[in-house]
């Protein structure tokens, strides 16, 4: 990019509405300088969105920005961390004022909500992609990880599941019958609310946690592998929204969607019996509902049951939109 084009884009990002006191030096120098609170560990995560792989060219810049930051915030939420600073590597095929303005709007709205300050980045020419590195902190030794679930622990998820995939189906061209419902589901795909407050509230209570980006079934498997345990999930307990049930019209189909839908950005976590009673009080201020969907077992398998009946469902994995229409049964 020429110097002028570059300056133009960088100027957009230099006007940072979030100004944190722990940022000693923000955008403009070779590096940023930040203060990590005493007694805390730095928590770092990176996510990349590539046009054509993670979002369609028709997606609004503002939605893409929200999704890029939300996926990083969700990773920090799953660690029980407090988000603080981020950097943004933006690759664009050409300077596009309108796109950058829209991106900034979506980015800033979410960054302000969680008081995340953009402290640097890079701007290059190439196929459109967005990489955000988000930093946060957590009191030393208190981060939630995937390893730590024990047999007997209860298994929970936040929010409702399945709508992200249902929204993506519309984005990929499914004919709209009910406009309001389609809008709700599409928003659920692009505009997930990362469970940052809930994640922090779960420190000291949850024995393991992960955010649902690849689908509950796949992400729960990560907890089981890291913890060396198994789980029994009662699909009748999966939290399904009215919109999803109305959309799918069949409870079993909705349950399968809840197990496989990715980019949900809800949390899946385990809680030892002794802390289970504290959960409601703990999460009261996070504004998030949680649902117990099963229990951790010692047998290294992920079993699905409906009430007590074993199920032999074969589930497809989440694959963004490479194979959007394959059979999910
Ligand atoms: P350098 O050559 O040292 O990498 P640049 O000219 O790339 O510096 O960037 C100048 C300043 O602008 C740096 O502080 C950098 O972090 C910031 N910056 C560049 N691109 C972005 C962006 N997309 N978002 C936020 N900050 C950016
Ligand atoms: Mg640079």
Q: What is the pLDDT of residues 152-204, one digit of tens each?
A: 999 999 999 999 999 999 999 999 999 999 999 999 999 999 999 999 999 99
Note the pLDDT of residue 13.
85
- Rounded CA separation 315/221 (Å): 13
Q: In this structure, which ligand is nearest to the CA of 10?
A: 1
pLDDT band at 321 (very low <50, low <70, confident <90, very high): low
Q: Supply the pTM of this predicted model.
A: 0.94
- Better-predicted residue by pLDDT, 312 or 329: 312
Note the pLDDT of residue 329.
31
Report the nearest atom of ligand 1 relative to the CA of 122: 20
Residue 327, pLDDT above cutoff 70: no
Note the pLDDT of residue 283.
94
Note the pLDDT of residue 6.
65
Note the pLDDT of residue 8.
73
* C-alpha separations of 188 from 203, 228, 237, 241 in Å: 26, 33, 21, 11
Residue 315, pLDDT above cutoff 90: no
Nearest CA to ligand 1 atom 11: 28
Task: Mark the residues whose beta carbon lies below 5 A from ion ligand 2.
Answer: 122
For 276-289, the DSSP string reads: HTTHHHHHGGGT--
Residue 298, pLDDT above cutoff 60: yes
Task: Find the mean pLDDT for residues 197-220.
Answer: 97
> Beta strands of 77-160 (E only): which ranges?
82-92, 117-125, 129-139, 154-158
Sequence-ordered alpha helix ranges (H) in 34-118: 61-78, 97-113
- Ligand 2 center–CA 203 separation, angstroms: 37
Share of the chain above pLDDT 90, in %: 86
Name every protein residue with a CB atom under 6 angstroms from any ligand 1 atom. Answer: 10, 13, 27-30, 88, 90, 118, 120-123
- Rounded CA separation 60/107 (Å): 12
Q: In this structure, which ligand is nearest to the CA of 31?
A: 1
Going by C-alpha positions, the residue among 92, 101, 98, 130 that lies closest to residue 11 is 101
Nearest CA to ligand 1 atom 3: 30
Report the nearest atom of ligand 1 relative to the CA of 118: 25
Residue 126, pLDDT above cutoff 50: yes
Note the pLDDT of residue 7.
74
Note the pLDDT of residue 324.
40
- Ligand 2 center–CA 89 separation, angstroms: 9
Cβ atoms of 59 and 102 within 8 Å: the answer is no
Q: In this structure, which ligand is nearest to the CA of 89?
A: 1
- Rounded CA separation 72/292 (Å): 25
Nearest CA to ligand 1 atom 7: 122
Question: Per the annotation, does 96 bind a ligand?
Answer: no
pLDDT band at 10 (very low <50, low <70, confident <90, very high): confident
Note the pLDDT of residue 275.
97
80: tokens are 């029980």
Give the model confidence (pLDDT) of 37-71 as tens digits: 999 999 999 999 999 999 999 999 999 999 999 99
Pocket test for ligand 1, best of 8, 27, 64 (most atoms within 8 A of CB): 27
Residue 227, pLDDT above cutoff 70: yes
Note the pLDDT of residue 276.
97
- Ligand 2 center–CA 22 separation, angstroms: 23
Question: Per the annotation, does 219 bind a ligand?
Answer: no
Give the model confidence (pLDDT) of 239-262 as tens digits: 999 999 999 999 999 999 999 999
pLDDT band at 218 (very low <50, low <70, confident <90, very high): very high
- Rounded CA separation 77/113 (Å): 14
- Ligand 1 center–CA 263 separation, angstroms: 29
Cβ atoms of 212 and 161 within 8 Å: the answer is yes
- Rounded CA separation 143/140 (Å): 7
Pocket test for ligand 1, best of 88, 117, 120, 124 (most atoms within 8 A of CB): 120
Question: Per the annotation, does 54 bind a ligand?
Answer: yes
Question: Per the annotation, does 260 bind a ligand?
Answer: no
pLDDT band at 2 (very low <50, low <70, confident <90, very high): low
pLDDT band at 319 (very low <50, low <70, confident <90, very high): low
- Rounded CA separation 192/222 (Å): 22
Question: Per the annotation, does 47 bind a ligand?
Answer: yes
């Amino acid at each position: 990019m020429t110097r002028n084009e570059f300056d133009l884009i960088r100027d957009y990002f230099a006007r940072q509405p979030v100004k944190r006191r722990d940022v000693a030096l923000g955008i403009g120098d070779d590096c940023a300088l930040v203060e990590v609170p005493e007694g805390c560990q730095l928590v770092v995560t990176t996510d990349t969105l590539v046009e054509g792989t993670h979002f369609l060219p028709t997606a609004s810049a503002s939605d893409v920005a929200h999704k890029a930051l939300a996926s990083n915030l969700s990773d920090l939420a799953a660690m029980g961390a407090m988000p603080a600073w981020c950097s943004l590597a933006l690759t664009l095929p050409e300077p596009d004022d309108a796109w950058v303005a829209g991106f900034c709007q979506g980015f800033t709205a979410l960054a302000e909500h969680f008081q995340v300050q953009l402290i640097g980045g890079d701007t290059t020419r190439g196929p459109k992609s967005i990489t955000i590195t988000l930093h946060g902190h957590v009191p030393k030794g208190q981060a939630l990880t995937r390893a730590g679930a024990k047999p007997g622990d209860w298994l929970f998820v936040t929010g409702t599941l399945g709508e992200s995939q249902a929204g993506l189906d519309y984005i990929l061209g499914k004919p709209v019958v009910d406009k309001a419902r389609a809008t709700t589901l599409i928003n659920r795909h692009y505009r997930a609310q990362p469970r940052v407050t809930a994640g922090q509230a779960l420190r000291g209570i949850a024995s393991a946690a992960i955010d649902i980006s690849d689908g509950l079934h796949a992400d729960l498997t990560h907890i089981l592998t890291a913890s060396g345990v198994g789980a029994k999930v009662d699909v009748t307990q999966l939290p399904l929204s009215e919109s999803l049930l109305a959309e799918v019209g069949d409870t079993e189909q909705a349950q399968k969607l809840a197990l496989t839908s990715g980019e949900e950005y809800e949390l899946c976590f385990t809680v030892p019996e002794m802390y289970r009673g504290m959960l409601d009080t703990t999460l009261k201020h996070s504004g998030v509902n949680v649902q117990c969907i099963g229990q951790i077992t010692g047998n290294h398998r992920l079993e699905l049951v409906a009430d007590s009946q074993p199920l032999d469902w074969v589930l497809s994995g989440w694959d963004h939109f490479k194979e959007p229409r394959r059979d999910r049964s």
